Homo-oligomer: A and B are copies of this chain.
């Protein structure tokens, strides 16, 4: 029996999230089908971060155990074999690595990075449809970055987690929150990216943070409003949940 660590990329648009469910397409379901197609074994994979419907990943991590009998397989060949059964899906195994039998994709993760993408411009999206949050109004990205620094550090994030979040403890530490803005055309269009890192996040935490910082970017909220939202420890005190299509799970460190 060998434990394998997979690093996975996917576009989440047409899937009901990572976690396997009956009768709907999921990333986990397609990966497990591809593994079955390659080795004819029903293998359950364990993932680092379950992403919601419509959320993407460029560096998701999962592990599984494979009993391949007396045959040998290396990581390169394993990734290639799984990918060969994913050709009709926007899901790819970037890397497969043999790991110790006690490696755990979820419990051993000590840092996660998410990116959230916004395109602000008046006209509809063409090329980036389903891969960014489209906001028609101008945003002040510098103000969003500055207000975001209020959330960096160790806080009770009750105001920023989904009311259905099942984590026992609402305290989390954000180690980095950076917002970078680039001009994309001569008509005021901007590509705004949030990079956020921490050991772990609550359910919808990143999307609720972005939904709140967009209020700042639109000039509706100031830094004090963000401070008050954090202190209120009440989901209703913070901004709305940003849509899933802008969110990417980028990197997990072990």
Binding site for B on A (CB under 8 A): 7, 9-11, 56, 58-59, 76, 79-80, 83, 86-87, 89-95, 121-127, 129, 131, 184-187, 189
Q: In the bound complex, how far is the Cα of B128 from the Cα of A58, in angstroms?
A: 11
Min CB distance, A246 to chain B, in Å? 13
A-B contact pairs, 16 of them (CB 8 A): A9-B127, A10-B127, A56-B127, A58-B185, A59-B185, A83-B124, A86-B124, A89-B126, A90-B126, A90-B127, A90-B129, A92-B124, A92-B125, A94-B187, A95-B185, A95-B186
Q: What number of copies of this chain does the assembly contain?
A: 2
Chain A interface mostly helix, strand, loop or mixed? loop
Asked if A94 meets B189 with Cβ closer than 8 Å, knowing A10-B126, A126-B9, A126-B10, the reply is yes
A7 with B127: CB separation less than 8 A? no
Min CB distance, A76 to chain B, in Å? 7
